[in-house]
Amino acid sequence: MQAQAAEAEQAGTDAVLAGYRRSIDNIDAALVCMLAERFRITQAVGEYKARAHLPPADPDREARQIERLRRLAEDADLDPEFSEKFIRFVIQEVIRHHQRHAAAEAEAG
Amino acid sequence: MQAQAAEAEQAGTDAVLAGYRRSIDNIDAALVCMLAERFRITQAVGEYKARAHLPPADPDREARQIERLRRLAEDADLDPEFSEKFIRFVIQEVIRHHQRHAAAEAEAG
């Protein structure tokens, strides 16, 4: 029995762990889809701002977003520091997209 | 009219932009809640692994997670490089949690 348990552990076939991992995989799929949708919207925002001659970055808006997500994180028992790191990570990627877009436009023009 | 439009732009009260931002804010709230739930599960995994004497890290599992999320990202038209950076960012935080947990246990013992 002990040898079997050790084997199950080594093979990663532990049923409890497998159950947790299915939940994690489902959540990760949802996160990736949500991020994909978020970037679809920020791409539309980038195009709209360029047409409307609005500045690409808005530091006040970013500060409000960070504060709001810290509060939501606290309510959900998530470390607000991590929440802030996460949204900064995403915003950085959005800025990188905008820069790539602007560079492509400049090249085309 | 032009002065009004300029004012609306400066005040960030542009209706189109406000609509996009409401969608982004909704998605961000969902992302934070999903991340909170993900960390609830990885915390349970950490405790379970400690009890079952399983190693805290599993590089094969991580590699499979990264590959799967890259495929999901491609299907959702999200940059797979970003998807990989994102999941590595989350896994790093999970490892940080486990280390903090282990340090607290060592101190308590």
Q: How far from B81 is each of A79, A84, A92, B51, B70, CA to CA, in Å?
A: 26, 21, 14, 35, 7
Question: What is the pTM for the complete model shown?
Answer: 0.84
Helix H or strand E encompassing B83: helix B80-108
CB contact under 8 A, A76 and B33: yes
CA distance B7 to B10: 5
The DSSP line for B23-47 is: HHHHHHHHHHHHHHHHHHHHHHHHH
Nearest CA in chain A to B85: A89
Helix axes B80-108 and B15-51, enclosed angle (nearest 10) = 40
**With contacts defined as CB-CB under 8 Å, which chain B residues touch A16?**
48, 52
CB nearest to B28's CB, from A30, A58, A87 = A87
Per-residue pLDDT of chain B (109 residues; tens, 9 = 90+): 455 555 555 555 589 999 999 999 999 999 999 999 999 999 999 999 888 888 888 899 999 999 999 999 999 999 999 999 999 999 999 988 877 777 777 777 6
Q: How far apart are CA B13 and CA A92, in angstroms?
A: 24
- ipTM of the complex, rounded to two decimals: 0.84
